Amino acid sequence: MTDAIIAARGLSRRFGETQAVDAVDLDLPPGSVLGLIGPNGAGKTTLLRALLGLTRCEGELSVLGLDPRMQQTTLMQRVCFIADTAVLPRWMSVAQLLDYVAGVHPHFDRARAESFLASTEVTPKRCVRELSKGMTVQLHLALVMAIDARLLVLDEPTLGLDILFRKRFYEQLLNDYFDDGRSIIISTHQVEEVEHILTHVMFMHKGKSVLFSPMSALEERFVELRAVGPDVARAETIPHLGARTMLGGKALIYEDIDPDALAPLGELRTPTLSDLFVAKISGGQSHVVQ
What pLDDT does 106 receive? 82
* pLDDT recorded at residue 251: 96
Mean pLDDT of the chain: 88
Kindly tell me if the per-residue pLDDT of 158 is higher than 70.
Answer: yes
Q: Is the pLDDT of residue 189 over 60?
A: yes
Percent of the chain with pLDDT over 90: 60
Span 108-123, pLDDT tens digits: 899 999 988 988 889 9
Helix (H) or strand (E) holding 49: helix 44-51
State the pLDDT at residue 289. Answer: 35
Q: What is the pLDDT of residues 64-116, one digit of tens each?
A: 999 999 999 899 888 888 775 557 888 999 999 999 999 988 888 999 999 88
pLDDT of residue 170: 83
**Residue-by-residue DSSP string for 178-196:** --TT-EEEEEES-HHHHGG
pLDDT category of residue 174 using cuts at 50, 70 and 90: confident
- Residues 6 or more apart from 65 whose CB is under 8 A from it? none
The structure's pTM equals 0.86
CB atoms within 10 A of CB 149: 22
Handedness of CA 259, 262, 267, 270 (dihedral sign): negative
Q: Is the pLDDT of residue 2 over 60?
A: no
- d(CA 88, CA 1) in angstroms, rounded, equals 36
Closest to 201 measured CA to CA, from 9, 71, 38: 38
Angle between helical axes of 133-145 and 110-117 (0-180°, round to 10)? 150
Q: Are 48 and 185 in contact (CB under 8 A)?
A: yes
